[in-house]
Amino acid sequence: MNTVIAAAERGKRWDVSHLALHLFFIALCLAIVVPLVLVVSISVSDEKLLLQHGYRLIPETFDLKAYRLILQSPGQLLNAYAITIAVTLLGTAAGLLMTALGAYVISRKDYRYRRITTIYVLFTMLFNGGLVPFYILVTQYLHLKDTLWALIVPYLLNPFYILIMKGFLDKLPGELYESAKIDGAREMRIFASIVLPLALPALATVGLFIAFAYWNDWWLGLLFVDSPGLVPLQLLLYRIMNTIEFLTNNIGVAGVDIDLSSFPNLSARMAMAVLAAGPMMFVFPSFQKYFVSGLTVGSVKS
């Protein structure tokens, strides 16, 4: 009888802990989803109603004026999308390859300068030359100003991503390399045929980080791009937002009598956020399985 009561009490405690855990994650999901829904709702809301009644999860009236304002020049927006997609694809592929190569070298225990190279990579993570030397390097020495490579080369290698990849490759047994060498495989064959397939979860995780960095970047375009044909998406939306803010704040100062109550200031900002983040919202679920595996790899030893 006592055993049955004790088991019932343990089951009750287990149910309570499970309920608390489920409630916590439900609250966490709501904290993530509700702001996203609010952004979409504001982007399709009427500006006058936003000023009168504030933000609502469900818009009172459905209005696409903000999107029509941003999409007045679809050619420029499509060109910015094309530039950003090209930079993201090329940069992610090249950056992922260079990151994997660098991490593979310093993860090999038979590499004599492994410790020194790792310290060097960590040092560049803590200190850098500053903005002015960086600008001079890209424009005066590499001659990349106003080219597509100015948006790609500066982000090709990130020491943090190299260390993440190294932590994964450290888990691979050294016997794999030794047996491959006995079979006559060279280093590049070992890297391409053995290391890369086994490192797929880590590659997907780091690749997603690199892709997000390229997709969300507007700083490099602001520094190095003057040609309208090379403006990336984020920089274009940034300029549109500044233009809207300038018009909103300076129409009255200039003495021009224009009713701005219906001008989509708030809704246009949210519409730009939707246009900028939308594609990545569809890409992330495709890599979610590998992303989770890459984050948890090495946590359990077999």
Residue 111, SS3?
Answer: coil
pTM as predicted:
0.77
Using the predicted structure, report yes or no on whether residue 284 has a pLDDT greater than 90. no
Span 24-37, pLDDT tens digits: 989 988 888 888 88
The whole-angstrom separation of Cα 207 and Cα 160 is: 13
What is the token pair recorded at 270?
């949210």
Residue 237: which pLDDT band, with cuts at 50, 70 and 90? confident
Using the predicted structure, report yes or no on whether residue 296 has a pLDDT greater than 70. no
What is the token pair recorded at 70?
């941003």
Span 46-84, pLDDT tens digits: 777 777 777 777 887 788 878 887 777 778 888 888 999
φ/ψ of 219, rounded to 5, equals -70, -45
Task: Give the chain's mean pLDDT.
Answer: 80
Q: What CATH fold (topology level) applies to the domain 75-296?
A: MetI-like fold (1.10.3720)
The 3 state secondary structure assigned to 231-283 is CCHHHHHHHHHHHHHHHHHHCCCCCCCCCCCCCCHHHHHHHHHHHHHHHHHHH
Residue 202: which H helix or E strand, with range? helix 200-215
* Higher pLDDT, residue 48 or 124: 124
* Higher pLDDT, residue 140 or 57: 140
Nearest to 87 by CA among 210, 170, 196: 210
List strand residue ranges (DSSP E) for the chain, in order.
none
Using the predicted structure, report yes or no on whether residue 301 has a pLDDT greater than 50. no
Question: What secondary structure letter does DSSP report for 143?
Answer: -
Using the predicted structure, report yes or no on whether residue 294 has a pLDDT greater than 60. no
Using the predicted structure, report yes or no on whether residue 2 has a pLDDT greater than 90. no
Residue 300: which pLDDT band, with cuts at 50, 70 and 90? very low
Using the predicted structure, report yes or no on whether residue 259 has a pLDDT greater than 70. no
